[in-house]
Chain A
């Protein structure tokens, strides 16, 4: 069952579920993210429900999955092993937060919104990819 085709199909199903979740929850609207972040304005709690439901589902689901010992179509679970809090982690998270606060876009919703592509969104996506390459250079 560990054939490339099965793995590819599994990847597609994961992406599709993620995309459906973003679309139905309204996270493909930057105004939802910004409304959640605007705690001094008319606060929009939608993102809190999204993150809460996602974390809750994952919390329970991961335990069931890990109890099986190995993934269905792969040899092992690949989890982050680092423990220490370093400047790269916190500095990166801080920069990401500023970008998210300016645009209302996280990478997921931005990519999932390609079906309704606008020039500003295209600019954001292009700059994000450039940023990924720059980060790779810095981290090296």
Chain B
């Protein structure tokens, strides 16, 4: 096992957890990416947009900061120290995947950060069910793509 990669995962996970705790402690909000940013784009809630725009700016500037300080802080698989990995497919596949991710998180009350992170920490039954569901369909999809159709994406 790659212990360095796992250690990076632990450190990054603590930072993500601290982000969620800070957002709840400061603004009383769940740190769900699709809720914060999807809500910003589709609803533009009056008086409730500025912090979402700022969150979006922070989210994008985090990896840029890691790249700027360099020193190999990233954790891209097979490219030690790199920060942002290459997409796993071309434009047509990403259009299909993006549509599914958008419709799915829009209907299903969120993605990995909301139900997966904050929801599990609150021991919320809906979040546990949603997380179990998207993990199962994601694993099944990867299985079909990589091992049934084969060739690898």
List the B residue with the shortest CB-CB distance to A65.
B25
- Report the bound CA distance from A8 to B56 in whole Å: 11
List the B residue with the shortest CB-CB distance to A125.
B98
Dominant SS among interface residues on chain A: helix
Shortest C-beta distance, A139 to chain B (Å), equals 6
B50 close to A7 (CB less than 8 A): yes
A15 close to B56 (CB less than 8 A): yes
- Report the bound CA distance from A5 to B63 in whole Å: 24
Residues of B within 8 A of A32 (CB): 75-77, 85
B51 close to A11 (CB less than 8 A): yes
Q: How many residues of B contact A (CB 8 A)?
A: 119
Residues of A within 8 A of B106 (CB): 92, 131-132, 134-136, 138-139
- Report the bound CA distance from A27 to B59 in whole Å: 13
Shortest C-beta distance, B7 to chain A (Å), equals 8
Residues of A within 8 A of B18 (CB): 17, 21, 57, 61
Shortest C-beta distance, A78 to chain B (Å), equals 5
- Report the bound CA distance from A53 to B76 in whole Å: 19
- Report the bound CA distance from A118 to B85 in whole Å: 10
A97 close to B61 (CB less than 8 A): no
User: Which residues B126-152 have CB closer than 8 A to chain A?
Assistant: 126, 129-131, 133-143, 145-147
Question: What are 11 sample pairs from A and B whose C-beta atoms fall under 8 A apart?
Answer: A19-B59, A21-B19, A31-B78, A32-B76, A37-B142, A53-B13, A80-B30, A94-B137, A107-B34, A127-B99, A132-B38
Residues on A facing B (Cβ under 8 Å): 4, 7-32, 34-35, 37-41, 44-59, 61-62, 64-66, 68, 70-80, 82-85, 88-108, 110-116, 118-121, 123-136, 138-139
List the 5 closest pairs (A to B, CB-CB), nearest first: A131-B102, A19-B62, A92-B108, A25-B12, A135-B106
